[in-house]
Amino acid sequence: MKRTQLFPLFILFLICHCIKINSQILTPPLSKLPRINGAKVFGVRPNSPLLFKIAAAGEKPIKYEVKGLPNGLQLNTETGLITGKLSKRGDYLMQVKVSNSLGNAERSLTIKVGDKIALTPPMGWNSWNCWGRDVSKAKVLSSAQAMIDKGLIDHGWNYINVDDAWEGQRAADGTIQTNDSFPDMKGLGDWLHARGLKFGIYTAPGPKTCLGFIGSYQHELQDMTTFAGWGVDYVKSDWCSYSGIFDQEKDTSLAAYKKPYLKMYDAIKVQNRDIYYSVCQYGMREVWKWGESVGANSWRTTGDIEDSWESMHEIGFNQYFMYPYAKPGHWNDPDMLVVGNVGWGKNLHPTRLTPDEQYTHISLWSLLAAPLLLGCDLAALDDFTLSLLTNDEVLDINQDPLGKQARRVYCNRSRYKFHLYAKELEDGSVALGIFNLMNYNLSYNDISLSQMGLKGGMIRDLWRQKDIGVFDDILKVNIPAHGVLLYRITKVDNKK
Ligand code: GLA
């Protein structure tokens, strides 16, 4: 066949491919009208440098205003960056307004000055699930730039976390140094902060990291001080080689599990900036019961996730009993997201989760109030993945200020496995996830809300952003294989 004959076939292939991708997209196209997204509450300690980016989507340019901005804080009206310091404890309520050529939007924002940070789960990116040991400054900057260019930052995504493989040797005075892939950590931190992004880093409480690089053992204070100097906002501390020390010490008490994490926390809390503390020890000794007591803002509850249904659903559907331990400032962490192009090294591949499995993944992690850390190459985001990550009504479930983790309100253990999760929200409404764990469609005509302890009301389909009607009790559903329906039930005020 001649090249010219092949051309129409190629065009046909492209059209079919686009139709296939677009038919899987449920999130409606983004409006050009302004909308304020992301966290409505933000915690900061007295006198810590504050950096809060107002997340707002809509046609650019957008202008930002804040009524009631307290003395000590400044707003950049072009970028929506709030910076400064507050010394007095208390709740500062302000009104944020964003406008563009098509209209404006307003929303309240509360900055809470006190001992708690991370009042909503962190949303951002981490290098591990994509680049693994092949991470470099250039790759991190590329995803950070894409977080801005593709608009993720306008929907509340803001952490950029460097995982393992940045570490070099210690200098003669013990100061930790970077390897050649990260020539200038302070410069990287400054670059991120100037754009409203936060900077995360990885270390270990033991002498080595999981990849065998240098850990912070016996250098905890020195390393946390170095990190603070680089402008680090988030530290992940990964157990791995600490097991050697643990075994040597022959103490298997709970205090022995806590010891290395308390030591690291002592070094974090004396820094002159707020640092999110992510404890990673895979759930040993039911860490969800004591993570808060070692100062953790989140604790990994499981081993490492992979981009397969088996891994994602095994982890995700086994978090339900931890719901009492999640609260503002302290989150159960079922590991990072596996959507987009992942690979843990040089060769990335599109996630092996089907589109419905990805809806399940994002819905479940949102209901669980879990940290949302992307593990894909953001520069290579496709339209489907972008639609999955920019559905504000879904992300609002994760970022709800009440900070409750969903309870599992129904679990059918018979042949037809389907599970229902309900998450109480600040405004009195409830988010309901109806999950089909089978590999074929399931239909039900008789799901009774009252039997699950839920009240009826107006039901909105959050992925499609569409009201589907008022239901007092019985729901009829059809859920695709490994898929989900994510609803918000709002009480109907009959008096109106
Ligand atoms: C462990 C952690 C991962 C990642 C790697 C880095 O496996 O669970 O999330 O941080 O170490 O080596």
Distance CA 64, CA 99 (A): 7
Question: Taking a C-beta distance cutoff of 8 angstroms, is the pair 113, 97 a contact?
Answer: no
Distance 225 CA to ligand 1 centre (A): 23
Residues 124-175 pLDDT 10s: 999 999 999 999 999 999 999 999 999 999 999 999 999 999 999 999 999 9
Look at the domain 35-113 and name its fold: Immunoglobulin-like (2.60.40)
Distance CA 81, CA 64 (A): 9
**Lowest mean pLDDT across 2-16, 134-148, 462-476:** 2-16
Q: Does 238 participate in catalysis according to the annotation?
A: yes
Token digits of residue 169: 């040797």
Distance 51 CA to ligand 1 centre (A): 28
With a CB cutoff of 8 Å and minimum separation 6, the contacts of 7 are: none
Q: Is 110 helix (H, G, I), strand (E, B) or coil?
A: strand
Look at the domain 123-398 and name its fold: TIM Barrel (3.20.20)
Look at the domain 407-490 and name its fold: Immunoglobulin-like (2.60.40)
Q: Which helix (H) or strand (E) holds 410?
A: strand 407-411
Distance CA 419, CA 432 (A): 10
Token digits of residue 139: 């790759």
Rounded to the nearest angstrom, the gap between the alpha carbon of residue 488 and the centroid of all alpha carbons in its chain is 20
Residues 243-268 pLDDT 10s: 999 999 999 999 999 999 999 999 99
Which residue, judged by its Cα, is nearest atom 4 of ligand 1?
A: 128
CA-nearest of 154, 118, 148 to 38 is: 154
Domain ranges for the chain, please list them. 35-113, 123-398, 407-490
Average pLDDT of every residue of the chain: 95
Burial status of residue 407 (CB atoms within 10 A of its CB: 0-12, 13-18, 19 or more): middle
Q: What is the pLDDT of residue 18?
A: 44
Same fold, 35-113 and 407-490: yes
Residues 315-332 pLDDT 10s: 999 999 999 999 999 999
In the set 190, 266, 304, 356, the catalytic residue is 304
Pocket residues: Cβ below 6 A from ligand 1:
128, 163-164, 202, 209-211, 238, 280, 304
Token digits of residue 323: 């719901």
Dihedral sign (CA 282, 396, 406, 385)? negative
Distance 128 CA to ligand 1 centre (A): 7
Question: Taking a C-beta distance cutoff of 8 angstroms, is the pair 470, 456 a contact?
Answer: yes
Distance CA 328, CA 119 (A): 4
